[in-house]
Amino acid sequence: MDRQEIERLDDLGLKAWDEHDPDALLALFADSFVWEDLTLPQPMTTADEVRQYMTSWFTAFPDMRARATHRVVGEDGAGVELEFTGTNTGPLDMGGATIPPTGKSVVGRGSYFVQLNSDGKVSRFSSHPDVAGLMVQLGLMPMGSEAPTA
């Protein structure tokens, strides 16, 4: 695949996320895929798991918008830094717990790596949201200077 095609596919994935459309994102995935995320104990390997994951983010942040801030493209994939904004007006499912809505707006950051198979479909995806930064902005974790000392 050439660079432009990989960028086009990545743009379609970001658009699907930005439009809160799990099916549009899943259309980019191979029948057999692995999606690892730092917030999950096990990789996702089914469409239902991906839909549930995305729905949990969109429930917590119904106005969520995402954009790539930096992208590096290789022969069969890309690494992307991204930024998302949203207001936490719904419950947030993370780390096996449900966190009640805080009503706070956030500017979240993270990165992901996507690997495409020879058919141009996503075979591996790994996402790395800045959970600590998100928790600080939601008021659920103290900032470094506010942390208790031993």
φ, ψ of residue 62 to 5 degrees: the values are -60, -25
- Would you kindly state where each structural domain of the chain is located, as residue ranges? 3-142
The pLDDT-based confidence of 144 (bands split at 50, 70, 90) is low
Task: For residue range 23-64, list pLDDT tens digits in order.
Answer: 999 999 999 999 999 889 999 999 999 999 999 999 999 999
Q: What is the mean pLDDT of residues 70-94?
A: 96
Give the other-Cβ count within 10 Å of 94's Cβ. Answer: 17
Whole-Å CA distances, 14 to 78, 83, 95, 112, 138 = 13, 11, 24, 11, 24
pTM exceeding the 0.85 threshold for the entire prediction: yes
Q: Which fold has domain 3-142?
A: Nuclear Transport Factor 2; Chain: A, (3.10.450)
Tell me the C-alpha distance between 88 and 31, whole Å: 33
Residue 111: its pLDDT value, please? 98
Give the whole-angstrom CA distance, residue 35 versus residue 82: 17
H or E stretch covering 27 = none
Identify any residues that bridge with 107 across adjacent strands, giving them in sequence order: 85
List own/partner pairs for 101-105 with CB under 8 A and 24 or more apart.
101/60, 102/138, 102/139, 102/140, 104/137, 104/138, 104/139
